[in-house]
Chain A
Amino acid sequence: MARSRESEMNGAPPHILVVDDGITMRMFYRSVLEAAGFMVEEATNGMEGYEKVLAQPFDLMIVDINMPKMDGYSMIRTIRNDPAVRMIPAVVVSTEAAAKDSARALEAGANFYLVKPVAPEDLTEVVRMIVGVAA
């Protein structure tokens, strides 16, 4: 999948939106992704994530499933149904490791499914692959 839009055009690092209600998880993703050269924005639930997606461009979203206000499945479905933002790739990261859970995430419109806890190298590899950035 090729890297998208503005960040590629203006030479800025790819812009990643991390959506998770756990502050430690968000801090961990930020630490790993910023060290790998990405720019990170955070949201604490699906509703806030959707609002941020509408307000600014992102190259990728990393989305938790179990969140208050709007869960990850609902957030991705909402974005996939919005023509203005529907193309943003989504990686779902969940504690739920059963095959039905990953199938459900992909059905909702996720591009990739990772199981917590995610190793830093796995996270950066998947993000690089999706946004089309060489290591």
Chain B
Amino acid sequence: MVLVKAGGQRTLVLAEPSRDPAVLLADLSAAEPSVRRAAARDLAPHPEAAMALCDRLEVEASPSVRAVLLTSLIHLQSPTVAMRLASLLRSDDVPLRNAAIEALQEMPDAVAPHLRDLLADEDSDVRIFAVNILGALRHGQAPQWLTDVVRSDPHINVCAAAVDGLAEIGGPETLIDLEALRRRYEGNPFMEFAIDAAMRRIRGH
């Protein structure tokens, strides 16, 4: 129990005493998912626990514990957390990879320093996932980064993903680059379809 002074009067409220972070860190490896879930939740206010949460996320099998780990990591977001989550873009675990993408979309300032590297990755799938992050990232530079992809990426599926992103967040200034991309992929039915659809959407019809 703690006493809280509210509105000039002392009010008695019941509160859960904060748990020892060392115990919480140990609980992240508990056999029972409910214990791991509670530990992941209660470590959210502890920035020093961020790497332990990332470590746990990489091996956690329970979807509900994974969800709480990601929620806590979004709360603790930093460029280091974003880098750890970005490493999951190479995972063969599709739900984990998709969860990492969704979490990174929630931390625009933390992921921004890593986007250049991700967009230059030698693996085209990693570049596609980076473009997918950009398409839903609330960051002022996102349209420009997508435009850079359209201008320079050699892989058709990376460009197609960027076209989808620009359809969502691109402005009229991107039309000239989309027109150039359409000329580059002239004769490819999907690319012509996708670019035409994006340009119609950007133009507002």
Out of B92, B164, B188, which one reaches A24, CB within 8 Å?
A: B164
Nearest CB in chain B: distance from A79 CB, A: 16
Cα–Cα distance between A72 and B95 once the two chains are bound (Å): 10
Q: Are A117 and B160 in contact (CB under 8 A)?
A: yes
| A37 at the binding interface (Cβ < 8 Å) | no
| A81 at the binding interface (Cβ < 8 Å) | no
| Size class of the A contact interface (CB-based, 8 Å) | 20 to 34
Q: Are A71 and B198 in contact (CB under 8 A)?
A: no
| A67 at the binding interface (Cβ < 8 Å) | yes
Out of A23, A27, A68, which one reaches B98, CB within 8 Å?
A: A68
Query: Which positions 92-126 of chain A face chain B at CB distance < 8 Å?
Result: 95-96, 104, 116-120
Q: Are A67 and B194 in contact (CB under 8 A)?
A: no
Q: Are A23 and B94 in contact (CB under 8 A)?
A: no
Q: Are B125 and A96 in contact (CB under 8 A)?
A: yes
Chain A residue at smallest Cβ distance from B129: A66
| A73 at the binding interface (Cβ < 8 Å) | yes
Query: Which positions 1-37 of chain A face chain B at CB distance < 8 Å?
Result: 22-25, 27-28, 31
Which residues of B sit under 8 angstroms from A74, Cβ to Cβ?
94-95
Which residues of B sit under 8 angstroms from A61, Cβ to Cβ?
none
Which residues of B sit under 8 angstroms from A70, Cβ to Cβ?
95
The DSSP consensus for interface residues of chain B is helix
B179-194 contact mask (Cβ, 8 Å, vs A): 1 or 0: 0000000001111011
Out of B125, B167, B188, which one reaches A95, CB within 8 Å?
A: B125
Cα–Cα distance between A19 and B94 once the two chains are bound (Å): 16
| A91 at the binding interface (Cβ < 8 Å) | no
| A130 at the binding interface (Cβ < 8 Å) | no
Which residues of B sit under 8 angstroms from A68, Cβ to Cβ?
98, 102
Out of B97, B156, B190, which one reaches A28, CB within 8 Å?
A: B190
Q: Are A118 and B190 in contact (CB under 8 A)?
A: yes
| B124 at the binding interface (Cβ < 8 Å) | yes
| A90 at the binding interface (Cβ < 8 Å) | no
User: Apart from A71-B94, A117-B191, what are 6 other A-B pairs with CB-CB below 8 Å?
Assistant: A24-B160, A24-B167, A66-B98, A68-B98, A117-B188, A119-B190
The residues of B with any CB-CB pair to A shorter than 8 Å are: 92, 94-95, 97-98, 102, 124-125, 128-129, 132, 156-157, 160-161, 163-164, 167, 188-191, 193-194, 197-198
Could you list some 23 contacts between A and B, CB below 8 A?
A: A22-B164, A24-B198, A25-B194, A65-B94, A66-B94, A66-B132, A67-B98, A68-B98, A68-B102, A70-B95, A71-B98, A74-B95, A95-B125, A95-B157, A96-B125, A104-B92, A116-B157, A117-B157, A117-B188, A117-B190, A117-B191, A119-B190, A120-B189
Nearest 5 A-B pairs (CB), nearest first?
A117-B190, A71-B94, A95-B157, A24-B194, A28-B193
